[in-house]
Structure 1
Amino acid sequence: MSDQKPTVVLVHGAFAESASWNGVISGLYAEGITSVAAANPLRSLAGDAAYVRDIIASIDGPVVLVGHSYGGLVISEASAGNDQVAALVYVSAFVPEPGDSAFSLSASEPGSTLGEALESHLIATGGVELVIRRSVFREQFAADVPVQQAGLMGATQRPVTEAALKDAVQAPAPGWRDRPSWHVFGAEDRNIPAAVLRAGAERAGSRGTIELAGASHAVSVSQPEAVVATILDAVRGVIEGRAAA
């Protein structure tokens, strides 16, 4: 049995970008773990999941697939029926059933203030894309991130199409149903109510759940050490499982 360490693939969500994983990447590197941060297109759920599947296919060996926010939908689709994905980590992320969307899940419990923080822009090819207004970005998305850093995050946020947030999960068996998952999120998340995130961890039979007191939606930036610790638990679980097989 190979003792090859899994590669960690990191999938950001709406209003973030791949550099939001920088602190996590550094922490994983210090532990000898290779990671890849995908530039999630945020155009459609099916297209975004296909893009992540292509990244997974380019990697030699097992993968621990990590998703933030809307990225939880993407990793749930991308891992469905994909034996290369050995474990999942949900970072302030949706854990969907078939037919769920980001919009439906975020409204399944009270508490999100995201809707009132958004502005929309027309897309030349049709539809609209959404961004968080710069004036409220830190308060809404990254309240526990230093002001200057949150300002950079607001300036570099990647818009998401409204269609992507309305797209329903199509996989009849999302990946979390048949592989282990770990979960970490902030108790003061204003994008996705903590109650939604708790319910998702329970739904998936979480192997380990960390709820960070006072933390915002942007836990990969504000508390990368906790995210790294959660991912390392998943990596160890994969290595131990392969050794026992």
Structure 2
Amino acid sequence: MSRNTKPGIVFAHGIWALLALTVLASGVATHLSAQSAGHATTAAKPTIILVHGAWADASGWYDVTLALQAHGYKVMAVQNSLFSYAKDIETTKRVLDAQQGPIVVVGHSYGGAVITAAAAGNPNVKSLVYVAAFAPDSNEAVGALLQRYPDLGLGKALGPDAAGFLYIDAAKYPKVFANGLPPTQARAFATAQKPIAGSALGEPLTVAPAWKTVPSWYVVGTQDRAINPELERFMAKRMNARVTELPAGHLCRHPSRPGRFLKSRRKPRTSRAGRWIVTLASIVPWRRRRESPVGVAQVSSATEWQGME
């Protein structure tokens, strides 16, 4: 995509909609093209791998998949069992290993912990995108991360079945897990939630995290009640990710707002990849305001900042 190309607009209807599109795809292509010394041709678009979290499944990426495919990207949404962390890593890794060419991996919620392990050591993975997601370090489990900051409601809403799988109390689901959805949709999601084995949340990461070597982006939901936003900021800063903050809950739908491909004014310190990010913006154009001492730039309804070193 050239500098003169106007930003593409895609209307978002999926879970976290085009937040997940933080797809950096054009940036990855630009990066790969730059690596081909002296070549003016544009590199092939990367494959986008989408990884769902707990109490959800791959169907949650349906509208995101359609939007990406409309822009010419190959997309695969991994269907994880949620039976164990190790099994979900294995399933996702198998999908990643089957791809040819550059890959952008997107994880939502628990899916972030999965991609942190599954993408490790894969030379084709060029970017990681964490959407209100867990990003553990070596020997760290999702459950341990949750204990770092105060519980905002998820812990008290969880209950195990006879087999040890965790469900979110249907009555509490709309407020705790789906506070970004209309009540009727939240209730429908509550009835269709896919439980996760409680033991999966206690399984630690056993490899070096992929985010230590792969350029990463993070989307923080400032109204998240499932993962404390402060925990999201902690993980994003620790991985030196490029961060976008949005006033949204853990699940979010904004059917009236377009997702726009916006050119980033600054490149991440770790890579040239990701010159372009996709974020959920209001119809009002983004306006950059004066940055705070910690490097925060207010842009319309979102906040974008670079993790401090």
Q: Same fold (TM over 0.5)?
A: yes
Q: Residue type of the partner of 1:115?
A: G
Give distance in 2, aligned partners of 1:87 and 1:224.
Answer: 28
Q: Residue type of the partner of 1:114?
A: L
Give distance in 2, aligned partners of 1:118 and 1:228.
Answer: 36
Q: 1:201 to 1:46 in 2, by over 3 A?
A: same
The match for 1:43 is 83
Q: Is the CA contact (8 Å cut-off) linking 1:23 and 1:224 kept in structure 2?
A: no
Whether 2:119 is the aligned partner of 1:79: answer: yes
Give distance in 2, aligned partners of 1:199 and 1:226.
Answer: 29
Q: 1:86 to 1:104 in 2, by over 3 A?
A: same
Q: Is the CA contact (8 Å cut-off) linking 2:178 and 2:250 kept in structure 1?
A: yes
Structure 2 alignment gaps of length 5 or more = 1-35, 37-41, 277-309
Shift of residue 80 of structure 1? 1.1
The match for 2:130 is 90
Give distance in 2, aligned partners of 1:139 and 1:63.
Answer: 35
Q: Residue type of the partner of 1:150?
A: A
CA displacement 1:140-177 (0-9 Å, x = unmatched): 11112122222221122111001101111111x21000
Q: Secondary structure at the match of 1:55?
A: helix
The match for 1:243 is none
Q: Secondary structure at the match of 1:202?
A: helix
Query: Please, which of 201, 212, 217 is the counterpart of residue 246 of structure 2?
Result: 212
CA displacement 1:198-243 (0-9 Å, x = unmatched): 111111111x211112x11114x4589788859x999x92699xxx
Q: Is the CA contact (8 Å cut-off) linking 2:97 and 2:122 kept in structure 1?
A: no
Q: Residue type of the partner of 2:244?
A: I
Q: Secondary structure at the match of 2:161?
A: strand
Q: 1:5 to 1:224 in 2, by over 3 A?
A: farther
Q: Is the CA contact (8 Å cut-off) linking 1:5 and 1:239 kept in structure 2?
A: no
The match for 1:186 is 221
Shift of residue 196 of structure 1? 0.6
TM-score, scaled relative to structure 1: 0.85
Higher helix residue share: 1
Query: Please, which of 81, 99, 106 is the counterpart of residue 139 of structure 2?
Result: 99
Percent of aligned pairs with the same residue?
A: 35
Q: 1:102 to 1:33 in 2, by over 3 A?
A: same
Q: Secondary structure at the match of 1:122?
A: coil
Q: Pick the structure with greater CA Rg.
A: 2
Count of aligned pairs between the two proteins = 230
Q: Is the CA contact (8 Å cut-off) linking 1:66 and 1:88 kept in structure 2?
A: yes
The match for 1:70 is 110
Higher relative contact order (CA 8 A, sep 6+): 1
Q: Secondary structure at the match of 1:192?
A: coil
Q: Residue type of the partner of 2:177?
A: F
Q: Secondary structure at the match of 1:195?
A: helix
Q: Is the CA contact (8 Å cut-off) linking 1:131 and 1:160 kept in structure 2?
A: yes
Whether 2:53 is the aligned partner of 1:13: answer: yes
Where in structure 2 are the equivalents of 1:115-126 lying within 5 Å? 115-123=155-163
TM-score, scaled relative to structure 2: 0.69
The match for 2:165 is 129
Q: Residue type of the partner of 1:159?
A: P
Q: Is the CA contact (8 Å cut-off) linking 2:170 and 2:191 kept in structure 1?
A: yes
CA displacement 1:116-146 (0-9 Å, x = unmatched): 11121122xxxx0001111111111111212
Q: Secondary structure at the match of 2:50?
A: strand
Q: Residue type of the partner of 1:83?
A: P
Give distance in 1, aligned partners of 2:95 and 2:129.
Answer: 17
Which 4+ stretches in 1 moved above 3 angstroms? Answer: 221-230
Whether 2:24 is the aligned partner of 1:24: answer: no
Q: Is the CA contact (8 Å cut-off) linking 2:96 and 2:119 kept in structure 1?
A: no
Give distance in 2, aligned partners of 1:36 and 1:11.
Answer: 9
Q: Is the CA contact (8 Å cut-off) linking 1:188 and 1:194 kept in structure 2?
A: yes
Q: Secondary structure at the match of 1:134?
A: coil
Q: 1:49 to 1:228 in 2, by over 3 A?
A: farther
Shift of residue 30 of structure 1? 3.0
CA displacement 1:41-98 (0-9 Å, x = unmatched): 1111111111001111222222111111111110000011111211100000011111
